[in-house]
Amino acid sequence: MRVLLMTNEFPPNIYGGAGVHVEYISRELSKMTPVEVRSFHQQDFSKDQLRVLGTKVDASGYGCSKELVSPLKALATCLAFNTQGIEADVVHCHTWYAHFGGIMAKILYGIPLVITVHSLEPLRPWKREQIGRGYDLSSWIEKTALEMADAVVAVSKSTREDILRLFNVDPAKVPVIPNGIDTDEYKPTLDPSVLAKYGIDPAKPYVLFVGRMTRQKGLLYLLQAISQLDADTQVVLCAGESDTPELQKELEALIADIKTHRQGIIWIAEMVSRPTTIALYSQAAVFVCPSIYEPFGIINLEAMACNTAVVGSKVGGIAEVVVDGETGLLIDANISPTMPHDPMDPKGFSAALAEGINRLVRDPGLRKKMGAAGRQRVLDNYSWRSIAEQTLALYKRLPRGQ
């Protein structure tokens, strides 16, 4: 079976969980069957049964408004994917950026279309701040793709419920196949040099945030919680790339203000290497994931695999990955399940985040126990090999000769 994956992100150009998913699923699938990946970047290499071909569209001549460049460039890239010719038995798309390519491949080449849902446009209303009316375009593309797909893979049970509630999709076509983790790569790794590089005091506990500076990731609520954290708790923010310049300035100003009256705030603004991230996870007292919308939250798996207890929002897939009281603590964000946006009680959410973090920082024995339970949960339930096998079995069930 020849598999074609279409994606915006692929190493080294990864900025979210979808890119991590495609990186690892392509690697594992290619051990069992030929796989080609078409991405939005300049790549061209092959290894065994894996071929990666990037397509970099030049948008410098676009005369449209700035916010429309990204969505229109995505469509142009998807068109290029199809003009290159396709010889595959199934096309599998990841994120709305690539969905138009899958739509055309299904129509023009008569092959089954699979979509993995890593997030849903109707549940990310803040994207209008980023791409303006391009958000209407991305929403239309997503709806069209999901409703004509031969299979729509949900990464969590909650995501499956959202898909069936928001789109006209046959429930029989919506399996749940979660994200995974490479536990040989993500494992407890003590590296004091990483702490020294960023000025983190090894004698004091630190809470770690890893993610983009977006409304979805809830960084604002963590920042508002800092004033309620114990004085000796350091806060390491591995946070880069904001949705908009305005949001970037807002969060930068808030971080700068916090630093004026509290020590131990370390902001790592650049994209750090994977080994560095693993070392940061491993040496943290607590990992915090304050997202207000998270279909899965692969970063929680990464932290758990590194023996680190998690304090996470009780939203979406986080509540399925993190076992409250066993591998971490879940904090009720009081967010509408039908239209995620700000928590109904923002101050209450921030206070609850601070309370959860303080509880674990004050109890080394408890967080050590939760960290060990978290790694065991990852080992037992989230191997990429198992997820690739489930995905390949799905491909083989799809109708042929359309």
The per-residue pLDDT for range 138-195, each reduced to its tens digit, is: 999 999 999 999 999 999 999 999 999 999 999 999 999 999 999 999 999 999 999 9
Angle between helices 298-305 and 364-381 (to 10 degrees): 110
- State how far the Cα of 386 lies from the Cα of 32, in Å rounded to an integer: 12
pLDDT at 215: 80
pLDDT at 369: 98
Residues 194 and 283 sit within 8 Å (Cβ to Cβ): yes
**Which domains are assigned to the chain?**
3-180+383-397 (3.40.50.2000), 192-381 (3.40.50.2000)
* Dihedral angle of Cα 224, 229, 231, 237, to the nearest 10 degrees: -60
Cβ-based burial of 192 (10 A; exposed 0-12, middle 13-18, buried ≥19): exposed
The whole-model pTM stands at 0.88
pLDDT at 401: 59
Q: Kindly report, residue by residue over 38-87, the tens digit of the pLDDT.
A: 999 989 999 999 999 999 999 999 999 999 999 999 999 999 999 999 99
Closest CA to 39 of 15, 13, 61, 20: 13
- Residue ranges of the chain with per-residue pLDDT less than 50: none
pLDDT at 340: 62
pLDDT at 254: 85
